[in-house]
Chain A
Amino acid sequence: MSEQVITHSDIKFQEYFLNMGPQHPATHGVLRLILTLDGEEVVGIEPDLGYIHRGIEKMCEYDTYRQIIHLTDRFDYLSSHMNNEAVCLAVEKALEVEVTDRIKVIRTMMDELTRIASHLLWWGVMGMDVGALTTFMYAFRDREMINEIMEKTTGARLTMSYNIPGGVMFDLHKDFQKDVKNLIAHMRKVLPEYDRLLTGNVIFQRRMKGIGTLSKEDAVNYGATGPVARASGISCDTRKHEPYSAYNRVKFNEVIETAGDNLARYQVRMQEMYESLDILEQLVDNIPEGDYQVAMRNLIKLPKGEFYQSVETARGEFGVFIVSDGKKNPYRVHFRSPGFNNLNALLKAGLGGKIADLVATMSTFDFVIPDIDR
């Protein structure tokens, strides 16, 4: 028998494909990523969208403006209040309706409550993605308080549809101020606890620091918004740049980090929770008296023209573009959802790491899949 020598050139190295999703715990929904792997290293990511496409934009063309609001709940269900608000603001802008101060303050407070709830859920799930299962329960304990506030006032916990053109559907519950004050006190106590549990952990720091870096240029090129862009050093907070509702009368900081890595995105969201608490604190004792609805026709017809309104959801800039031809239905509606553009940025930021890095990066991007697919 001849002696066979295996040299390096005899061994074939081959990249292989791995379907991450549509059913995968880390994609948090039905996102499918087709990964090209070299061992454990991710060398290619290709998203395959459409698993939860519902054709909402087309459906909007057959609905009246009051009906459209309920569809927008189903994009980014964690920011449903903000999505509603974008449509309402666009309609009010088109009709040149000025809402009362009370409505503006209620909307702003609800926005910030929703933002905290969304960031809490993100924090819990992100801990789970990097293997710390306990964060999930902590986050849900605290998110429950917000859900209860929502439930008391709006009657729903997730898809609230609380905004209507020209106001909000119900007046605030009588416990609202007390509950929000409780929440603020509670959150100020537990947020440092979160830091002790997860942020300071050396394993967590190693998993986050310098991983999934998104440069400022890439963030601009891919159209990233929200905490993702702010972590890369871009000032893009719609609440600051084009204040809507009551954001021009409250003081808050736009949280900006420059590193662009997972830890920066993490810190931006953690700090944003503090900022949201500040906003709530400023408003909770200053809710003006007034009507919670402005009288509007039941069947709203927008004047001919094009109307755009964007709001800052928990994930970034959410825009509504309405083309009206003067009828009760819009001619065409387009939604600019933050998740779709942020997903493109992920394709850049997720490359080059291990599978575990991609999972961590994905969770710091905080995707809600129905927001991407619409």
Chain B
Amino acid sequence: MILTQNIFEYWTQNTEGWLYVLVLALIAALYLTFFAVAGLLLVLMERRVAGFFQLRLGPNRVGPGGSLQTIADALKLVSKEIFMPKFADKLLYKAGYYFVIIASLLGLSVIPFSAHFQAFDINVGIFFITAVSSVGVLGILIGAWGSRNKYSLIGAMRSGLQMISYELSAGFAVITIVLLAGTLQMSEIVEAQRDTWFIIKGHIPALIAFMIFMISGTAESNRVPFDLVEAEAELGAGFHTEYSGMGFAYFFLAEFENMFIIAALAVTLFFGGWLAPFGITDALPGQVFWGLFWFFLKVLIVIFVFMWFRWTFPRLRIDQLLVLEWKYLLPIGLVNIVLAALIVWQGWLFEPLKWLGL
């Protein structure tokens, strides 16, 4: 099936030997570059959006329109002294950020950016993402434990609570869509939405699942109103209090990458991934480009919503966070799965285009 052909297979069809390895390395380099550039751009976007919400301009001095500001910030972080607390557990302290960064890199690898533009198109893609995203919390936990700081530890414990709780809800929201799509493979989930996006096709359960996914996605990426992990008014900087320079930068970058992954997942699951709305660009040449265009447009809109949350809402308290998950979101999510199953079983899907014979 042509669909399962990913970026790797696409470029290595007729290659052998060292060329094969070279293509492999190039793709890896491409992803790493994307990882870094996307992080920098997202930080810039966050700051500009923050400025927009806060009656100010945001960075606008370095480069045209402030576009080089985050690069300057990154250079500053690279050149900073790497400080380690005297009593820190060296191994755990240093291992912390690698866990976090590798978790988000792995998550990125199965995201379908466009047709064939996907590093691994494994048949359990969505399951793989939920699995690797839980690895990140390990990094936070051991990093904070290793830095021997009470503020870090409180932040890490909150992080553990938060991740364990909200992964369930996020998982249930994903399962709702898996029921509609009938597959765990990311590319096929996208392809199943060629007629109608799942948010429309699945009507009520899909809408509920989308809301649950957005809430738990915000919680998983540790953003306001669920940023208890770093809650700067309470814990200073939370789990990364003792990190400086690149250690801090890795945590910071991973946070933004996680937000990107959550947004990309939301787009893939609910808004048809890289598919154009109503197929308006399907006839045009350069399908890979148009796929990328629509994918990033949708992802940026979802990310904007996340940023909107961040610059508007106050923060929850830890017990309220758990109450929200275990008393509200989880039961709603469970009922929602049954509802979705019923709808799929009875075929009560909402497909206006099909009804109109289009």
Contact = CB atoms under 8 A, between A and B. Distances in A.
A185 interface: no
Interface string B205-235: 0000000000000000000110110011111
A354 B232 CA distance: 15
Interface stretch (B50-58, B140-148, B245-253): B50-58
Given A127-B314, A131-B225, A203-B313, A356 B231 contact: yes
Contact of B319 (A134, A138, A354, A359): A354
B90 interface: no
Given A40-B154, A40-B318, A203-B225, A132 B233 contact: no
Interface in B41-89: 50, 53-56
Interface string A125-139: 001111111101110
A16 B320 CA distance: 23
B326 interface: no
Nearest to B312: A134
Interface centre among B53, B54, B315, B320 (most CB of A within 10 A): B315
Contact of A356 (B55, B151, B317): B317
A25 B55 contact: no
B55 A141 contact: yes
Interface in A273-309: none
B316 A203 contact: yes
A61 to B, nearest CB: 39
Given A129-B233, A354-B319, A137 B56 contact: yes
A134 B54 CA distance: 5
B20 interface: no
Contacts of B314: 127, 130-132, 198, 201, 203-204, 207
Contacts of A204: 314
Given A127-B314, A133-B54, A355 B154 contact: yes
Contact of A359 (B50, B227, B233): B233
A230 to B, nearest CB: 24
Interface in B296-330: 310-320
A24 interface: yes
A203 B315 contact: yes
Given A40-B318, A134-B53, A356 B313 contact: no
A137 B54 contact: yes
A18 interface: yes
B55 A18 contact: no
Interface string A313-337: 0000000000000000000000000
A371 interface: no
Interface residues of B, number: 29
A133 B314 CA distance: 8
A357 B234 CA distance: 9
A174 interface: no
Interface residues of A, number: 30
Contacts of A131: 224-225, 227, 231, 233, 313-315
A26 B55 contact: no
A241 interface: no
B229 to A, nearest CB: 12
A370 to B, nearest CB: 20
Interface centre among A26, A134, A138 (most CB of B within 10 A): A134
Interface residues of A, dominant DSSP: helix
A197 B233 CA distance: 19
A270 to B, nearest CB: 16
Given A131-B227, A201-B313, A354 B54 contact: no
Nearest to A130: B314
B236 interface: yes
Nearest to A41: B319
Contacts of B313: 131-132, 201, 203
Given A138-B55, A141-B55, A130 B154 contact: no
Nearest to A128: B233
A8 interface: no
A12 interface: no
Nearest to A138: B55
Interface in A116-132: 127-132
Given A198-B314, A201-B313, A206 B320 contact: yes
B123 to A, nearest CB: 40
B227 A24 contact: no
Interface string A173-196: 000000000000000000000000
B154 to A, nearest CB: 7
Nearest to A205: B314
Given A354-B318, A356-B318, A134 B233 contact: no
B234 A359 contact: yes
A133 B311 contact: yes
A129 B316 CA distance: 11
Interface string B16-55: 0000000000000000000000000000000000100111
A25 B317 CA distance: 17
Nearest to B150: A18
A198 B227 CA distance: 18
Interface string A333-374: 000000000000000000000111101000000000000000
A356 B315 contact: yes
Contacts of A201: 313-314
A310 B169 CA distance: 57
A198 B311 CA distance: 12
Contacts of B150: 16, 18
A324 to B, nearest CB: 45
A98 B50 CA distance: 53
A128 B234 CA distance: 11
A198 B225 CA distance: 13
13 contacts: A24-B236, A131-B225, A131-B314, A131-B315, A132-B313, A134-B53, A201-B314, A204-B314, A206-B317, A207-B315, A354-B319, A355-B234, A359-B234
Interface of B: 50, 53-56, 150-151, 154, 224-225, 227-228, 231-236, 310-320
Given A137-B56, A138-B54, A206-B317, 11 more contacts: A24-B236, A25-B236, A26-B234, A130-B233, A131-B314, A133-B50, A133-B311, A134-B312, A198-B314, A206-B316, A359-B234
Closest 5 CB pairs of A and B: A131-B315, A137-B54, A132-B314, A130-B314, A356-B317
